[in-house]
Amino acid sequence: MERESILERLRREALETDLLDRARDYALAYAAGVRGRRVVPDADALSGLGSLPAVLPEEPMDGKRVLDLLHRFGSPATVAQTGGRYFGFVNGGSLPTAVAARWLADVWDQNAALYVMSPIASALEASCEEWLVDLLGLPAGSAAGFVGGTSLATLCGLAAGRDELLRRAGWDCGARGLLGAPEIRVVLGEQAHASVYKSLGLLGLGRDRVEKAPVDDQGRILAKRMPKIDDRTLLILQAGNVSTGSFDPFSAIIPAARAAGAWIHVDGAFGLWAAASGRHSHLMEGAALADSWSADAHKTLNAPYDNGIVFCRSREALATAMRSSGAYFVLSESRDEMTYTPDMSRRARAVDLWATLLSLGRSGAAALVEELCANAALFARLLAAEGFTIANEVVFNQVLVTCGSAEQTIGTLTRLQTSGECWCGSTTWNGAPAIRISVCSYVTTPQDVERSVRAFVSAREGAGR
Ligand SMILES: *Cc1c(COP(=O)(O)O)cnc(C)c1O
């Protein structure tokens, strides 16, 4: 009998269910154990990574064996991000319906560049755009581009702003580039996120030629001390400081900046979602008067990763900045997704987002935001009762914690991070080290918060008072 060729084998595997069954079994086993296990992998789990193949083998590997490797050595070396006691950075969770929808979409393997490549992907993006603009209280008709994360979303928003400011000054930046162009000023808060600087570098606007607006002790721009804004200014504001969770005072800044002719971008990676909750939308007051906004559905909204969004008041400005040829600007009846993003081929990430939004509904989105904030407030209350210092005003989902001295804060954090009980990151706030808690997963319960506070107390004891 003739030996099966490699491609024959792959085609046969595509019709078999056991590969996907196995993936499902492993995934369910992982999910069943994740709440009980260590938050960070231990030394054994990390050394298991050495058992993964070091060299690309000459011969194809059986699919089941590939999955076995991933589950046996990969699963234990994950961070238990979905276990309820991970409070690092600002990461988020992933809602069950969204994960399930993503699995289905992975089997579809749609290319979400153009309507003709995937009518379903295009239709879901169109719905997500409409629903999100409404949910977040942004100007009706705003465009949304679906990208990998807020870093890219900010890049898109600032590209649209740069090109539009230059267009108004009689310069076609897309065609002529920046060399010889009229000067564009960039004004941002002293506490702007690192990703904003990355975008400015990529866009040729320079990381170092920014004008920084002074901020208060929560990282909010001081409206009274804003540099003068004019019609050549890109102004970048923030909804949700990664350390304190604070929001810039939009109402005190944006109307005047608008009147001056600036382009205003709001980095709202996790904070933009405050607008979805009646209890927290006051933080976003006035933000909808900006020109563009960036947000991560994979943070506060608990969509799986790879769900960033750029919103732009002017559909044309975003499409112009993202166009792929001089003549390319078609607003067709059906949405061509690449009109609004830098990439062409990409997966249909709107499937996850659409499923996330449907699974929450408006009330679920509000409840999610409120619960994250309530758990952050509980964290702060319980830690304060244990003698920790809460170094920020807990206005949203971020809590900054310090101990008696800088050494003690660092010692406590180090022990906490290796404890496996919970995981928090660090920052420097007002010149001193601080432990940074971000509550951003729907999985986290008040019991998780209580257990984590006990871990803080033990870590501080271990560090010596
Ligand atoms: C997370 C975050 C970013 C970067 O978003 P990515 O999705 O990681 O690219 C930018 N700004 C703020 C305020 C953030 O919290």
- Ranking 13-22, 81-90, 194-203, 398-407 by mean pLDDT, the lowest is 13-22
**Burial status of residue 59 (CB atoms within 10 A of its CB: 0-12, 13-18, 19 or more):** exposed
Strand partners, 343: none
Architecture of the domain defined by 100-357: 3-Layer(aba) Sandwich (3.40)
For the segment 58-79, the average pLDDT, to the nearest whole number, is 96
Asked if the model's pLDDT at residue 326 lies above 80, the reply is no
Q: Contact, 278 vs 137, CB < 8 A? A: no
Cα→Cα distances 106→66, 83, 99, 320, 367, Å: 18, 24, 10, 31, 29
- pLDDT attached to residue 465: 57
Q: Ligand 1 pocket, 301 CB below 6 A?
A: no
- pLDDT attached to residue 2: 78
Task: Please identify which residue in the block is written with the tokens 């001081």.
Answer: 222
Q: Contact, 87 vs 376, CB < 8 A? A: no
For the segment 154-168, the average pLDDT, to the nearest whole number, is 98
Q: Residue ranges of the domains in the chain?
A: 100-357
Residue with CA closest to ligand 1 atom 14: 269
Nearest to 304 by CA among 121, 88, 82, 107: 82
From the CA of 153, give the closest atom in ligand 1: 9
Phi/psi of residue 82, nearest 5 degrees: -100, 15
Asked if the model's pLDDT at residue 10 lies above 50, the reply is yes
Task: Please identify which residue in the block is written with the tokens 């267009």.
Answer: 167
- pLDDT attached to residue 20: 93
Ramachandran category for residue 180: left, alpha or beta (phi over 0 → left; psi -120 to 50 → alpha): left
Q: Contact, 175 vs 326, CB < 8 A? A: yes
d(CA 212, CA 196): 13
Question: pLDDT category, 347, cuts 50, 70, 90?
Answer: very high
For the stretch 306-325, pLDDT in tens is 999 999 999 999 999 999 76
Please give the distance, rounded to the nearest whole angstrom, from the Cα atom of residue 55 to the centre of ligand 1.
34
Q: Ligand 1 pocket, 308 CB below 6 A?
A: yes
Q: Ligand 1 pocket, 296 CB below 6 A?
A: yes
Best residue among 296, 306, 397 to mutate for probing ligand 1's pocket (most ligand atoms within 8 Å of CB) is 296
Question: pLDDT category, 76, cuts 50, 70, 90?
Answer: very high
Q: Ligand 1 pocket, 150 CB below 6 A?
A: yes
- pLDDT attached to residue 412: 98
Asked if the model's pLDDT at residue 329 lies above 80, the reply is no
d(CA 230, CA 211): 13
Please give the distance, rounded to the nearest whole angstrom, from the Cα atom of residue 295 to the centre of ligand 1.
8
Q: How many helices (H) and strands (E) does the chain have?
A: 14, 12
Asked if the model's pLDDT at residue 273 lies above 90, the reply is yes
For the stretch 357-382, pLDDT in tens is 999 999 999 999 999 999 999 999 99
Residue with CA closest to ligand 1 atom 13: 269
For the segment 418-441, the average pLDDT, to the nearest whole number, is 96
For the segment 38-44, the average pLDDT, to the nearest whole number, is 97
Mean per-residue pLDDT of the chain: 96
- pLDDT attached to residue 13: 85
Residue with CA closest to ligand 1 atom 7: 149
- pLDDT attached to residue 325: 66
Beta-strand relationship, 185-189 and 233-238:
parallel
- pLDDT attached to residue 457: 98
Percent of the chain's residues with pLDDT above 90:
94
Asked if the model's pLDDT at residue 1 lies above 80, the reply is no
From the CA of 240, give the closest atom in ligand 1: 13
Q: Ligand 1 pocket, 267 CB below 6 A?
A: yes
- pLDDT attached to residue 157: 98
